[in-house]
Amino acid sequence: MLGLVSGIIFGFLLQKGGVTDYGVIIGQLLLTDFTVVQVMLSAVLVGMIGVYTMKSTGLVRLHARKGSVGATVLGGLIFGAGFAILGYCPGTAAGAVGSGALDAAIGMAGIAVGAGIFARLYPALDQKILNRGVFPTETIPELLGIRPWIVVIGVGILIIGILYLLAVLGF
């Protein structure tokens, strides 16, 4: 139930932000429209500060898992290719359908098929590729050996800098 309500709010926000629109997403990938990055970075900034604050008071725990070159990099690039060809992501595709885009519905079916194909390939992939080049740690602070809040502040400044730069450049 909470999932449904969260989703409704999520979808409402995504549509208002314009990121359920094929043109906006492709515009981002073609580097002419930076709405997607502006939304994502703003979400990361706010989310990061809140989650890490709650984490330090023991209210929440992190859900990060180790990645690997074989899984994260390879999978990420394949995803990227699909991203450019479909023009939506798993979340925004659902949002696009809600806005009336029927091509996104076909896309959603495709995503499910792709997930199903992965599930069938999983045993072989897990054995041969997915565990190649496992990343040494789960989080960046652990990787750098720096205290989390220092990284949080550093990333926060970086994000604000990027958003400011984009604004100045006229995006």
Partner 1 sequence: MIGWLMMASWSPYIVGAGIGVLIWTAFLFSDRPLGCSTAYANTAGMVESALSRRKAEAMPYYRKYIPAVDWQWMLVIGVLIGAFLSAYLSGTFRVLIVPPVFAEAFGTDALLRSATALIGGILMGLGARWAGGCTSGHGISGTLQLSVASWVAAICFFAGGILVAGLIFGFSFL
Residues 125-154 that bind partner 1 (CB under 8 A): 125-126, 130, 135, 137-141, 143, 148, 151-152
Does position 157 interact with partner 1 (CB under 8 A)? The reply is no
- Residue from 16, 128, 132, 147 binding partner 1 (CB under 8 A): 16
- Residue from 13, 132, 157, 165 binding partner 1 (CB under 8 A): 13
Work out how close the CB of 168 gets to partner 1 at its nearest, in angstroms, rounded to a whole number: 15
Cβ burial of 92 (10 Å; 0-12, 13-18, 19+) is buried
Does position 161 interact with partner 1 (CB under 8 A)? The reply is no
Contact of 71 with 86, CB cutoff 8 Å: no
Work out how close the CB of 128 gets to partner 1 at its nearest, in angstroms, rounded to a whole number: 13
**Hey, which residues does 134 pair with through a beta bridge?**
68
Contact of 71 with 77, CB cutoff 8 Å: no
* Dist. CA 92–CA 35, nearest whole Å: 13
Work out how close the CB of 73 gets to partner 1 at its nearest, in angstroms, rounded to a whole number: 5
